[in-house]
Amino acid sequence: MKVFDKIADVTAELDRLRAEGKTIGFVPTMGALHEGHLSLVKKCVAENDVCIVDAFVNPTQFNNKEDYEKYPRTVDADAKLLEGAGANLVWFPTESDIYPEPDTRVFELGPLAEVMEGKYRPGHFNGVAQVLTRLFSIVKPDRAYFGEKDFQQLAIVREMVKHYNIPVQIVGCPIVREADGLALSSRNMRLSAEQRQHALRISKTLFASLDKMKEMSVEEVKQWVIKEVNSEPGLEVEYFEISDSLTLQPVENWNNENIVGCITVYCGEVRLIDNIQYKKNI
């Protein structure tokens, strides 16, 4: 596995591999890696000749400076994990590499970016678009891999590459959970042992809501989930939306074939997200 920090070295290596006819798979991350990230890396390794992973905590997608500063950074541990997962190239860019000058671009992301995270974190997805378009222009991957835990982000990235004619195939990968159901997240590192136990209520409630949909309306399930999660000490729901998984717009009944429930919960100061797919005839 080769490790890079300079753009010129990364592009030279990728150009060489591309000239040999190699396919390039890319896993963009913010580091602080866990098994969820590694599942993306392993899929990337399996489907491409070359797997490159970057780890860059992107400042433009944080609208909370304290959250950005506290985001875990574990470079040495990340490199070891990536080598074990079979990554070929690892890139740890600096902020001056990605943003040699302030990025003032504003992206047209449409209605997908106006709900849920877009509503509660203004500018977040524009920051995601800024960094990804920059990374894609440097790496020029054939495929790029994203986790479904960030469900809205995945939908927006797919729309973005289509809208801006970026020649990359976006591959979504399933949520990876701990044995007890907690969705893996880099932010879990910030939870105390007690908070982690409280956080289990999030996934348990989402899974339980699959049965509730058989007897409750969409609005009733929505209110039940919020009440259940809020009843756990230390948890506060920021939002829970039951939406069309393609348009991300709220649904009013269960007749839609593609429904997702997306939740964001504060566990103390730590902001956790999760989601679940609702299917008829479960």
Order of strands across the sheet that contains 143-147: 2-4, 89-91, 50-55, 24-29, 143-147, 169-173
For residues 209 and 261, the answer to whether their CB atoms sit within 8 Å is: yes
Place of tokens 């920021």: 238
* Residue 252 CA, distance from chain mean position: 26
* Residue 153 CA, distance from chain mean position: 6
For residues 80 and 39, the answer to whether their CB atoms sit within 8 Å is: no
Q: Which two tokens stand for residue 195?
A: 């908070």
Instruction: Identify whether 198 is a catalytic site residue.
Output: no
Considering 37, 124, 163, 198, which one is annotated as catalytic? 37
- d(C-alpha 190, C-alpha 55), whole Å: 18
Strand, helix or coil at 32? coil
For residues 218 and 280, the answer to whether their CB atoms sit within 8 Å is: no
The 8-class DSSP code of residue 182 comes to P
- Tell me whether residue 24 is exposed, middle or buried, using C-beta atoms within 10 angstroms of its C-beta: 0 to 12, 13 to 18, 19 or more: buried
Residues known to be catalytic = 37
